[in-house]
A and B are shown apart, each in its own frame.
Chain A
Amino acid sequence: MSTRPAPRPSRAAATAASRPAGPRESVLSRSGAMLVMGLATLYFLTPIWWLLVASTKSRGDLTSTSPLWFSDVRLGENLAAVFSYDGGVLPRWLLNSVLYAGGGALVATLLAGMCGYAIAKYRFPGRDLFFNVVLGGVLVPATALALPLFLIFSQVGATNTFWAVFLPSVVSPFGVYLARIYAASAVPLELMEAARLDGAGEVRTFFTVSVRLMVPALVTVFLFQFVTIWNNFFLPLIMLRDEALFPVTLGLYNWNTVVNQVPELRLYVLTGAFVSIVPLIAVFLLLQRFWRGGLGTGAVK
């Protein structure tokens, strides 16, 4: 957030200029806050830094040189090796992850948006019960559902298919919750009324008017769901047996469990893990603009 010293509304500017005797930040508390944030940043970035450094090393350097600094940089060779290993299965896994996470998050956002909007904006019998059941879904960890889902999918013979991982991913109770809360305050009933008077049906009103107002919430739902699906490991582990369907998390885990038989894999797992976080970072960087913009809009209102 600190990257943009945003032009504040005039009230804030005025207070800053006149500096009345109100509460003022001392240098101490400011630097204290900076220190805490600095430490937190360090804490979160160190593992990523380690991963980056490790994925540039040769297998021998991995154990024998300092883990937090580069020795002989061979990122290019490592990438080439990891991408071509086992007939180029890693790119396939990455593509699968993008399909599961991207597609799943998109559909999940659509469903959650519609569901949350409906619960927020329409009155119908059982609405609260409905919402509470969905809310209950937030409390059930995905891991606990994996095995029941496996048995259900087994009944219809759909395990070890794309759908076995995709379908359970398009449900996001948290997304419904968020969409409901946001729609309740961001979509004025008057606006929906106006759209109706202009002759728009409910579906059209939703897609042309309400969705636009809900964008910040929807982006948030998308991001959360994207990350959740991308990192969802347990469901694919239980559902999938065909290597060609694996997401990258499961594929790398598999490699990691057989490093003893194929020593090169140790390095490939590290390089692969580094590659696998790049899409996550990219999605966040691309979408956080909308997110932040949205949060701001809400605040000023």
Chain B
Amino acid sequence: MRITRRAVSVASLALLSPLALAACSGDADGGGAAGGGDAAACEPSDGEVTLQFTSWVPGIEDVVAIWNEQNPDVQVEVQTGPNGNSGTYQNFFNQLEAGNAPDLGQIEFDALPNFRVQDGLQDIGACEGVQEAADQFVDWTWSQATLGEEGSVYAIPQDSGPMAMFYREDLFTEAGIEIPTTWEEFATAAEQVREQGGYITNFSVADINQFAGLVWQADGSWFANDGDAWEVGLDSAESVEVADYWQDLIERDLVSTLPGWTSEWDNAYNTGQAWTWVSAVWGANSIMTGAPDTAGSWRVAPMPQWEAGGGAAGNWGGSTTAVFNGTEHPYEAAQFALWLNTSDEALDALIEAANLYPATIEGQQRPALAEGVEFYGGQEIYEVFGEAGPGVPAGWTWGPTMTQVYNDLSDGFSGAISGDGSLGDALGDAQESTVAALESQSIPVAE
């Protein structure tokens, strides 16, 4: 009987807990600039320190083991989970709410503002060596980590995803089509490729991040933050120009619109249906995985330009090591984050274990990235990306509700593909829904 009663009381406790949850979430509205840890207070802790670090990067525990061996007084425990948007970000928010967040966490660039608005990040700008490290990083990555706030640093950039154009050298040569260097040439080439029965590329409606990278290249920005309020620019001139360009290609059936990362998509690349892919540096692996039969036929060229002779590039992906608000050891956490993302030994290990493309200027010159890649006919492909990096405009800002933006845009784009409105219309709709989403979270929006 005793056990029975306990079972029942557990069950009823479980029944009541949604109420408890509702009560808890009442105090979560805050946000804003309060707290965040005092930037001036970044002193080393006494005695031995153990830091918790959550990351989904494969093999990161081996990299951390190097640090642990060299720093017996500051031991780092690696915890893991699925990649950010697949669950770990939500876990971070839950843990921040419950007060048991790790000291450090992996956060992608596009999620940093969200954590900042929810007051989840520790400002490590005053920690020794952090400000001095700025010069080591590719400019735009550092401006992402400061979130545009003077004197503040909220994360140390880890990897980046400068974009370039992967293309089927054999098919282009065989058909006698020039490799496009501008978007205008790209559209012309698209017509020629279509005559050969293929598609020049695939526009995947679900990959909003790719589209963002294309807008980024055009020096647009979807968000801006002047310290008081957020400005939303999803339907800014640059953004609409890029959308109209692709809308035209889609309408003329010059690009396919398969959903990305599916087996049809893989198949389109594997069978030579799709001739190019404008993608980030890590896309090199995606092609190798998805299109194994095409080994040796791919090459990499800089992204097509809006202005002939330009050197602008977009960026797709990339992440940081952030220190969470509530850590007792900001100093040690910052030192570890710096080591992880700037030291040669750590970067070499990260490149080796997870194919990360570092965010530091020197890191991009590591020997492992200087070699020719067999799959790409021996081309030294990372050189192309290394040149693309500095061409990424530094003005891009992510918003605090990117998950909502991605969902709304993806829905709108799917509609546009099936003939319901255009990509430009989808941007307009997402602009409205994003402003509404910010306002509903009491985040100030500049009109």
Q: How far is the CA of A145 from the CA of B83 in the complex (A)?
A: 23
Instruction: Tell me which of B11-19, B219-227, B395-403 binds A.
Output: B11-19
Q: Which residues of B contact A154 (CB under 8 A)?
A: 95, 98-100
Q: Which of A150-197 contact B (CB under 8 A)?
A: 150-152, 154-155, 157, 159-160, 168, 170-171, 173, 176
A150 to B286, CA, bound (A): 36
B14 touches A257 (CB 8 A): no
CB <8 Å contact, A241 and B102 = yes
A145–B17 CB distance below 8 A = yes
Are A261 and B58 interface neighbours, CB within 8 A? yes
Asked whether any CB of chain A lies closer than 8 Å to the CB of B301, the reply is: no
Contact in complex: A253, B82 (CB < 8 Å)? yes
- Determine whether the beta carbon of B15 is less than 8 Å from that of A59: no
Say whether chain A's binding surface is mostly helix, strand, loop, or mixed: helix
Contact of B86 among A148, A152, A253 (CB under 8 A): A253
Q: Which size bracket describes the interface of B in this complex? A: 35 or more
Of B38-46, B130-138, B262-270, the one contacting chain A is: B262-270
Report the minimal beta-carbon distance from B373 to chain A, rounded to whole angstroms: 14
Which of B68-76, B289-297, B417-425 lines the interface with chain A? B289-297
Chain A residues positioned under 8 Å from B20 (CB to CB): 148, 151-152
Q: Chain A residues near B267: list those with CB within 8 A.
A: 63
Determine if A237 is an interface residue (Cβ-Cβ < 8 Å): yes
Complex CA distance for A59 and B285, rounded to whole angstroms: 13
In the complex, per-residue mask of B16-37: 1 if CB is within 8 Å of any chain A CB, else 0: 0110110010000000000000
Q: With A133-B12, A147-B21 given, is the CB distance from A257 to B293 under 8 Å?
A: no
Minimum C-beta distance from A180 to chain B (A): 11
Q: Is the CB of B7 within 8 A of A111?
A: yes
- How does the 8 Å CB contact mask read for A122-158 relative to B, with 1 for contact and 0 for none? 0000000010011011001000110111111011010
Give a binary string over B48-62; 1 marks a CB under 8 Å from any A CB, 0 the rest. Answer: 000010101111000
A64 within 8 A of partner (CB): yes
A92 contacts which chain B residues (CB < 8 A)? none
CB-nearest residue of chain A relative to B79? A241
A59 near B21 with CB under 8 A, answer no
Q: Which residue of the partner chain, among A59, A148, A155, A243, contacts B289 with CB atoms under 8 Å?
A: A59
A289 to B12, CA, bound (A): 34
Asked if B100 and A258 sit within 8 Å, CB to CB, the answer is no
Known contacts A60-B293, A254-B81, A260-B285; is-contact A159 B100 (Cβ 8 Å):
yes
Q: In whole angstroms, what is the CA distance A272 to B91 when docked?
A: 25
B21 near A148: Cβ-Cβ < 8 Å: yes
Determine if B433 is an interface residue (Cβ-Cβ < 8 Å). Answer: no
Which B residues lie within 8 Å of A238 (CB)? 90-91, 94
Is B176 interfacial (CB-CB < 8 Å)? no
What is the CB-to-nearest-CB distance from A202 to chain B, in angstroms, rounded to a whole number? 8
**Contact (Cβ within 8 A) B79 A150:** no
A262 proximal to B (CB < 8 A): yes
Residues from chain A with a CB closer than 8 A to the CB of B10 are 171
B47 within 8 A of A: no
A154 to B288 alpha-carbon distance, docked (Å): 43
The CA of A152 and the CA of B21, in the complex, are separated in Å by 9
Assess the B14–A145 pair: CB atoms within 8 A.
yes
Contact A111 B100 (CB under 8 A): no
Partner of A137, one of B1, B11, B95, B97: B11
- Minimal Cβ-Cβ distance residue in A for B61: A243
Q: A227 an interface residue at 8 Å Cβ cutoff?
A: no
Asked if A140 contacts B14 (CB within 8 A), the reply is yes
Contact between B14 and A237, CB atoms less than 8 A apart: no
Residues of A within 8 A of B87 (CB): 237, 253
Q: How far is the CB of A32 from chain B (nearest CB, A)?
A: 35
Taken together as a complex, chains A and B put the C-alpha atoms of A111 and B355 apart, in Å, by 49
Instruction: Specify which chain A residues have a CB less than 8 angstroms from the CB of B79 in the assembled complex.
Output: 160, 241-243
> Which residues in A have their C-beta under 8 angstroms from that of B81?
237, 241, 254
Q: Are A237 and B91 neighbours in the complex by a CB distance under 8 Å? A: yes
Enumerate B161-206 residues with CB–CB distance to A below 8 Å.
none
6 additional contacts (CB under 8 A) given A118-B4, A263-B285, A265-B58: A152-B13, A152-B17, A157-B100, A173-B11, A241-B79, A253-B86
Seen from chain B, the residues whose Cβ lies within 8 Å of a Cβ on chain A are 1, 3-4, 7-8, 10-15, 17-18, 20-21, 24, 52, 54, 56-59, 79-83, 86-87, 90-91, 94-95, 97-100, 102, 263, 266-267, 270, 282, 285-286, 288-293, 354-356
A-B CB contact pairs (8 Å), 19 listed: A60-B292, A86-B58, A114-B4, A115-B8, A133-B8, A137-B12, A171-B11, A173-B11, A241-B52, A242-B79, A242-B80, A243-B79, A253-B86, A253-B87, A254-B80, A254-B81, A257-B86, A262-B58, A263-B285
